[in-house]
Amino acid sequence: MKVQLHKAVGGVLAACAALAAFPVGVTAQSAVDEIAKYRQQLQDGNPAELWEARGEDLWKQKRGPKSVSLERCDLGKGAGVVKGAYAELPKYFSDADRVMDLETRLVHCMVTQQGFTTADATKRTFGAGSNRSDIEALTAWITSESKGVRMNVALNHAKEKEAYRLGEKIFYFRGGSHDFACATCHSETGKRIRLQDLPNLTEKAGAQLAYTTWPAYRVSQGELRTFQWRLNDCFRQQRFPELQFGSEASVALTSFLAFNANGAPFNAPAIKR
Amino acid sequence: MKNPYRFACVLALIAAGCTTMSDQDVSDKAVAVMKTSFNERGQAKLDRLDQDEAQKLCSIPPSAVLPKEVAARIEEINLATVKYPADGKLLGNWRDGERVAQSGIGMQYSDDPKVPAGANCYACHQLTQEEISFGTIGPSLYNFGKIRGNSEAIQRYAYGKIYNPQAYTACSNMPRFGHKQILTEQQIKDVTALLMDPNSPVNK
């Protein structure tokens, strides 16, 4: 009992010492600045590289019932061309007659070329520890092959134009128990939620900053997270039901945001809090 | 059909003219696309995507200007939903109110529906001076009661604003905590006290 008491007192003293080390007169803005410094320090040694390495292997491996690799998958720049492909997505694909982002295009190739069922291909879209997601790994590698390439999403085909317009409308769609839309948090410059700065996704600067840094290793998740994940998790916090992976709404929103980001060099996989 | 080639020509002309959807068509299609792009999960059922009148009218960019009559109508509809406590007491316990203000859980499909929801006030607002982790989506509420005084009118305004912010500001970004049954009556009283009670740290 005495030992436990000493341990408890010791713990409290240690905590007090830690608190005392926190500078007096900390303001919200100085806390934001310190967090920004922490984020800068994170950039060195990005665990995303582990996902990239696994993704490159998965791309080249013969897999699925047809025992074929993904090296003939057309990501929009020709069969097997990976370099720079992500910077031009989403785009219209005539073989599927729809606009596709990277993740829906990957599922398409896994199904049509490797012979997976859609259910198998989307069995695990977001990894959790040892339950790893192949789509996340493939996305990590494929996006890394667009690093430094300027965002260049085209709105040529009628369905590409429609996807952009639908994405914009969905961006402003207010619903759920809390009346939230994407716009509630992301349509004004210079705002933050708690201490997290919020990019204005309706303007070039904000869209560029946000879109070119996904996918990212999310430290708080301990996982590499993709853009489909980012949209999914936004809607969860908006108190909406669950966004379907690769759904038309998800691709439309991605079209809207990716096009708004045009011109900026792609800079992912990044690392985020 | 007298001349099948002529019919085909007419069809082609119509098709060529129909290349751009009207704004209303895109809006309607967006609503339809939303309804087929989500699955229910946990407590979040698909009816969360059914928009009421305010949500439909407010699905617009911040730059869009609502006609005065439309804004007034939204405020009128929402003011009518405000239910004040039967016992006439609008102020609860500010300490409990601070807990409600700090809590960001509730109504997500990842949340346990048995656990009370929070209001997550600090996500968007400054309230006490002590809490530096506050957002800026909404205005600072520091000294809310101290600035406005403690009259019954201000108490009713504060309570009503939390219950249904759109009673006062059409298309407000703030959730309608009472009308949408996010918070209980007691929780709203407690948050009102956080804002209004002279002993609350918000007013120190």
Q: Is pLDDT above 60 for B9?
A: no
- Which one of A173, A182, A197 would you mutate to disrupt binding with B, by most B Cβ within 10 Å of its Cβ? A173
Closest CA to A250 of A51, A115, A125, A100: A100
**Closest-CA residue of chain A to B61:** A172
Residue B71, Ramachandran bin (φ over 0: left; ψ between -120 and 50: alpha; else beta): alpha
In this prediction, residue A45 carries a pLDDT of 83
pLDDT over 70, % of chain A: 91
Which region among A135-149, A226-240, B17-31 has the lowest average model confidence (pLDDT)? B17-31
CB contact under 8 A, B41 and A242: yes
Dihedral sign computed on CA atoms, order A170, A175, A176, A182: positive
Comparing A64 with B20, the larger pLDDT belongs to A64
- Please, what is the average pLDDT of chain B? 93
Q: Do residues A165 and B21 lie in contact, with contact meaning Cβ atoms separated by under 8 Å? A: yes
In this prediction, residue B20 carries a pLDDT of 80
Q: How far apart are CA A90 and CA B169, in angstroms?
A: 38
Q: How far apart are CA B49 and CA B43, in angstroms?
A: 13
CB contact under 8 A, A176 and B49: yes
Distance from CA of A38 to the nearest CA of B (A): 16
pLDDT over 90, % of chain A: 83
In this prediction, residue A15 carries a pLDDT of 45
Question: End-to-end distance of chain A based on CA atoms, in angstroms?
Answer: 40
Q: Is A158 on the interface with B (CB under 8 A)?
A: yes
Comparing B85 with A6, the larger pLDDT belongs to B85
Tell me: cis bond preceding A90? Omega within 30 of 0 counts: yes
Residue B115's Cβ-count burial label (10 Å; 0-12, 13-18, 19+) is exposed
Q: Do residues B200 and B131 lie in contact, with contact meaning Cβ atoms separated by under 8 Å? A: no
Q: Is pLDDT above 90 for B1?
A: no
CB atoms within 10 A of CB A23: 8
Mean pLDDT throughout B164-182?
98
Mean pLDDT throughout A204-222?
96
Mean pLDDT throughout A161-168?
98
Per-residue burial over A230-239, b if 16 or more Cβ lie within 10 Å, else e, is bbbbbbbbbb
Q: How far apart are CA A82 and CA A117, in angstroms?
A: 23
Q: Do residues B49 and B35 lie in contact, with contact meaning Cβ atoms separated by under 8 Å? A: yes
Mean pLDDT throughout B142-169?
98
Q: Is pLDDT above 90 for A24?
A: no
Q: Is pLDDT above 50 for B137?
A: yes
Q: What is the pLDDT of residues A75-124, one digit of tens each?
A: 999 999 999 999 999 999 999 999 999 999 999 999 999 999 999 999 99
Mean pLDDT throughout B126-131?
98
Mean pLDDT throughout B163-192?
98
Considering only CB atoms, A177 lies closest to which of B26, B36, B48, namely: B48
Considering only CB atoms, A195 lies closest to which of B33, B60, B133, namely: B133
Residues of A with CB below 8 A from B173's CB? 179, 184
Rounded to 5 degrees, φ, ψ at B9 are: -60, -45
CA A229 to chain centroid = 6
Confidence band of A10 (pLDDT split at 50, 70, 90): very low
Q: How far apart are CA B159 and CA B162, in angstroms?
A: 5
Rounded to 5 degrees, φ, ψ at A67 are: 45, 60
Of A73, A182, A185, A234, which residue is the catalytic one? A234
In this prediction, residue A12 carries a pLDDT of 46
Q: How far apart are CA B46 and CA B39, in angstroms?
A: 7
Q: Which residue has the tokens 């785009």?
A: A91
**Closest-CA residue of chain A to B137:** A191
In this prediction, residue A9 carries a pLDDT of 45
Q: Is A185 a catalytic residue?
A: no
User: Residue A139: in which H helix or E strand, if any?
Assistant: helix A134-144
pTM: 0.90
In this prediction, residue A18 carries a pLDDT of 43
Q: Is pLDDT above 60 for B13?
A: no
CB contact under 8 A, B55 and A172: no
Three-state DSSP at A218 gives strand
Q: Is A66 on the interface with B (CB under 8 A)?
A: no
Considering only CB atoms, B135 lies closest to which of A192, A242, A243, namely: A192
Comparing A7 with A194, the larger pLDDT belongs to A194
In this prediction, residue A19 carries a pLDDT of 45
- Which one of A160, A194, A248, A273 would you mutate to disrupt binding with B, by most B Cβ within 10 Å of its Cβ? A194
Q: How many helices (H) and strands (E) does chain A have?
A: 11, 8
Comparing B4 with A232, the larger pLDDT belongs to A232
Confidence band of A20 (pLDDT split at 50, 70, 90): very low
Q: Do residues B106 and B90 lie in contact, with contact meaning Cβ atoms separated by under 8 Å? A: no
- Please, what is the average pLDDT of chain A? 92
Which region among A4-8, B104-108, B128-132 has the lowest average model confidence (pLDDT)? A4-8
Q: What is the pLDDT of residues A38-67, one digit of tens each?
A: 877 777 789 999 999 999 999 999 999 999
Comparing B1 with A199, the larger pLDDT belongs to A199
In this prediction, residue B18 carries a pLDDT of 52
